[in-house]
Amino acid sequence: MNYSELFCQSHYSFLTGASSPAELVTTASFLGYQAIAITDECSVAGVVRAFDEINHQRLPIKLIIGSYFVFDDSLSFVLLCPNKEAYSELCRIITNARRRSEKGEYQLAEWDLRTIKHCQFIWLPSGKKEYDDRWAIWLAKQSAINVYIGAQRLLDGSDHHRFENYNYLQTTYELPVIACTGVLMHHSECLPSQHVLHATRVHTRIDDIGRAALSNAERSLRTTQKIKKLYPEKWILNTNNLASQCSFCLSELCYQYPAELVPSGYTPTSYLRVCVEKGIKRRFPDGLPPEISAIIEKELVLIKEQEYEYFFLTIYDIVQFAKQQGILYQGRGSAANSVVCYCLEITAVDPRQINVLFERFISKERNEPPDIDVDFEHQRREEIIQYIFRKYGRERTAIAATVICYRFKSAFKDVGKALGFSESQLDFVIKQINRRDRVIPWKSQLSGLGLDPSNKRVSLLINLTEQLLGTPRHLSQHVGGFVISAGPLYELVPVENAAMPERTIIQWDKDDIEALGLLKVDVLALGMLSAIRRTFELINKQFPVEVSIPFITKLGDDKQVFDMICQADTVGVFQIESRAQMSMLPRLKPRKYYDLVVQIAIVRPGPIQGDMVHPYLIRRHGNEVVSYPSKDVEKVLSRTMGVPIFQEQVIQLAMVAAGFSGGEADQLRRAMASWKKDGRIFEFRDKLIKGMTDKGYDSGFAHNLFEQIKGFAGYGFPESHSASFAVLAYVSCWLKFYFPVEFYTALLNSWPMGFYTPSQLVQDAKRHGITVYPPCINNSAVEHLMVVENGQKQLQLGLILVKGLSKESAEIVVQQRPKKGFSTVNQVRQLNLRSNELEALASADAFRLISGNRYETRWQMMDSQGSLPLFDGDTCYQEIDSVYDNSKVEKPLLGHAPSEAQNLLEDYASTGLSVSRHPISLLRQAKDLSRISWANALAGKHNRSVVSILGAVTGRQAPGTASGVTFLTLEDDTGNINVVVWQATARAQQQVFLKAKLLQVNGIVEHSKEGVIHVIAGKLIDRTPWLETIAIPSRDFH
């Protein structure tokens, strides 16, 4: 029997549907359904996933696009799209309803219903006669709407009443009836998950939902045999007839690029060539090398064939605006494989410095727009965003969505609350569980936390949490992906409000956009660009020659800068700043730009899991002869010592060694990126191995290559991406070496960004001999300043660092400060700052130049406040105050000024750092730490000797490797210490490992031949109580 399900909600009906679109269409096809409609509530967010699954699996089932709505709590209905006009109509209705409401909500108006002309209308009667009669009469008057009654049989005890109502409405108002389940899950086993989602949506426990909860699993996909028994044959026939009328397919959508960027008299092709030729003169002032010219022509031909000219011109227009406004930017990702992008000044990587692979960027087989990511200064990206909105209008542009899915913490918490566990109990368990333990899974850790897995409720908590992982919870805003169209965007996809004011998002994410070939412009934010531009501003005020990224890169590889890099003196720079990168630098010893390209890519899970790091280092330092199975393979791997480090190399190997086309090789790359989700990479295994053996390669080499590809899967780093990052890495290192004060000032003014906290940056600046002054009411600006005293550049911290002082109040202090500065605390009080802000300034010792110390400042504040709070408004006190001069009240004896320890504690409490001494230095005075080895003494310890170290935990890193190792960074007053914690050690001392802020480690110090020093942890001792009142920030698992 043929059957089509026309009312089906996926989990893109957030916190309602319990199955994915892929699960629904796959199961419906397996059950023999003729068609299935994905009808999420006021949404088409899931339809592309269903469309993609049907195409990929070649399922013999038709996908119908639609949506479910509730109007005024009395009318529920489904709209289906028989044609493209109906689809545009549906998108407009959804957009209007969403734009009227806050994010995540929608509000239909009766006007929306009156404008329906093309969509098929399935009315779902409420069962309440007064509502149903009113809406039946209203619908009967809408001659343009084709109305069907949607009949649901759910075996919940109410079917008899429902069917009486359906027959009454059918007879009275002459409306045809169709069968529809109202599917919420692909299988009955999903019912418990659906109950959890329902409970989460209504903010209650499952036990308290009552009759509102599904009483059975009948809202799952049912067999056609069961459907035949449940509904009259006529209704099923009506259903199939309606389904047959719905022929619209997403492949009919025709996306058009914005066209206004091409001046009259030009075609898109000719104007793009003009722009490229302008760029050639700037990029290649000494003439265009013939091989580069050939690549440009090849790219332009392919761009014309694929009709991507408008795409390139759109990006070109945006970066030209950034240049005009002095906003630093840089294109990255696969775009760095394009010489055209380089000539258009979208990217900064000279194609002569890397092995350009244009197929990584555009290929004929991949019928979709190329991906161009452009980073802008994070503090000025808003200017770019507003330019795009102004240029194209809000009807034609919106931001792509990001689907926020359940991860462990949110799933565990929502399931736990739905099952009746207390929030405090759930929070405790979440904090104690070590999700990074690859040997003991999280559920096995519960028994040690007072939860018995054999208990039925705990067992449900475990199973339902596992089921919920990865389930979409809501839509959010993409970090910067804009979709721009020639016509109204809402005719292609619904647009809704984002959480941010004046922001709109479409209902599809980047994968959906890519699948349908829509143009996405990635306008991303990068903190290092802000820091670099700010550094340039400070430098260029001093010198007649303008320092810029091109200026630095044209100088070539600087020996002294690379000496600094090889010593891992890279705190605060771009990309090579992490402890893992710093550990690799003395081993790899980069001496030129391309070495940095490799350095950035090699400290990634892909090369590590593919066992490529050690062979590369051995060969790089001449300890192993490099050999290749063929000249073709040598061309691909020679630049990385015969070891595949980059994604592009995997693609090239598939092409030259296995005979893949460029498009096939790119499909392999995509399968690598998603193989842990769908395992598609194994579809290429036989083709890859057969292709290589057919070309004469050894079977062992072929199998080994596939294993390396698996290691890359999900983690491989593109050479083009690394090459773009290496430019900024080198520029930031150059600035740190030659202009350290300017660089640290700019870093602090660009924060939050990067890997390190302001406290760590200030400590590193001091280690480099830079004098740093704390916030000061007379010397500080709002932001941090570079100051010059006696010819020495120094760093003056800004008022913005003071916790509890708003930026607006800091601006008032600076704007109204006398030229000679404030001379009394009372002058500052007259600025009408809030009392808590004055207290914040006092706590930060910002008044020290005019009041001596914190204690003096606080007294002077009390002294200048007039009457004490106890007597405020008291007539008796006012009379006394009129006789005695309150300003001459004798101060009580303050005793000593605050001790160094007290000052240090207040520094950290008020600004998060101290420029005086490191907190560890206090412990040296207070405790016997003669057995502790400090950071600067470890180099003198014998290799493999036992040591005890002590430091503040400033970072925890857990790279995605099978060994489960974690790297801790401890900071004492002499420097940083790298600590390696093996999984067994971390598991045995889990709470200390995860929670300690001040940590003593007893372990073994190891020295590598390259000079890398680290301590292998044995015993971990939590010493946090020693410095309990100082909050030392730690960057954990980033």
pLDDT tens profile 484-511:
999 999 999 999 998 888 789 999 999 8
pLDDT on residue 132: 96
pLDDT on residue 674: 64
pLDDT on residue 867: 42
Strand-pairing partners, residue 793, are 788
Rounded to whole angstroms, how far apart are CA atoms 157 and 767?
A: 77
Pick the CATH number of 919-1036 from 3.20.20.70, 3.40.50.1360, 2.40.50.140, 3.30.420.40: 2.40.50.140
Parts of the chain with a pLDDT under 50:
866-894, 962
Domain ranges of the chain: 4-252, 407-469, 544-727, 798-911, 919-1036
Q: Minimal CA–CA distance to 774: which of 615, 907, 878?
A: 907
Alpha-carbon torsion angle 223, 227, 228, 230, nearest 10: 140
Tokens representing 396 are 């034609």
> How would you classify residue 475: left for phi > 0, otherwise alpha for psi between -120 and 50, otherwise beta?
beta
Q: Minimal CA–CA distance to 2: which of 265, 244, 198?
A: 244
Q: Which fold has domain 407-469?
A: Arc Repressor Mutant, subunit A (1.10.10)
Residue 764: which H helix or E strand, with range? helix 758-767
Q: How many CA within 13 A on the CB side of residue 772?
A: 28
Tokens representing 205 are 């426990």
Tokens representing 148 are 């069907």
Omega prior to 370 cis, within 30 of 0: no
Rounded to whole angstroms, how far apart are CA atoms 538 and 522?
A: 29
Which residue reads 């959508």 in tokens? 253
* Phi, psi angle pair for 15, to nearest 5°: 60, 25
Rounded to whole angstroms, how far apart are CA atoms 1001 and 1015?
A: 8
pLDDT on residue 606: 61
pLDDT on residue 619: 92
Rounded to whole angstroms, how far apart are CA atoms 368 and 518?
A: 8
pLDDT on residue 671: 79
**Cβ 48 vs Cβ 515: under 8 Å:** yes
Rounded to whole angstroms, how far apart are CA atoms 988 and 160?
A: 62
Strand-pairing partners, residue 531, are none
pLDDT on residue 873: 41
Tokens representing 375 are 């980073």
Tell me the pairing of strands 35-38 and 4-5: parallel
Residue 939 per-residue DSSP state: G
pLDDT on residue 705: 82
pLDDT on residue 179: 97
Q: Which fold has domain 4-252?
A: TIM Barrel (3.20.20)
Tell me the pairing of strands 966-972 and 975-981: antiparallel
Q: How many CA within 13 A on the CB side of residue 825?
A: 24
pLDDT on residue 573: 97
Neighbours of 386 (CB within 10 A): 11
Q: What share of the chain is helix, strand, coil (3-state, %, to 5)?
A: 50, 15, 35
Which residue reads 């022509």 in tokens? 297
**Cβ 305 vs Cβ 315: under 8 Å:** no
Q: Where are the alpha helices (DSSP H) in 517-558?
A: 527-540, 549-554
Rounded to whole angstroms, how far apart are CA atoms 125 and 152?
A: 10
Tokens representing 85 are 């006009």
Rounded to whole angstroms, how far apart are CA atoms 1015 and 642?
A: 32
- Please, is 965 exposed, middle or buried when counting C-beta atoms within 10 Å of its C-beta (0-12, 13-18, 19+)? middle
pLDDT on residue 316: 96
pTM above 0.75, yes or no: yes
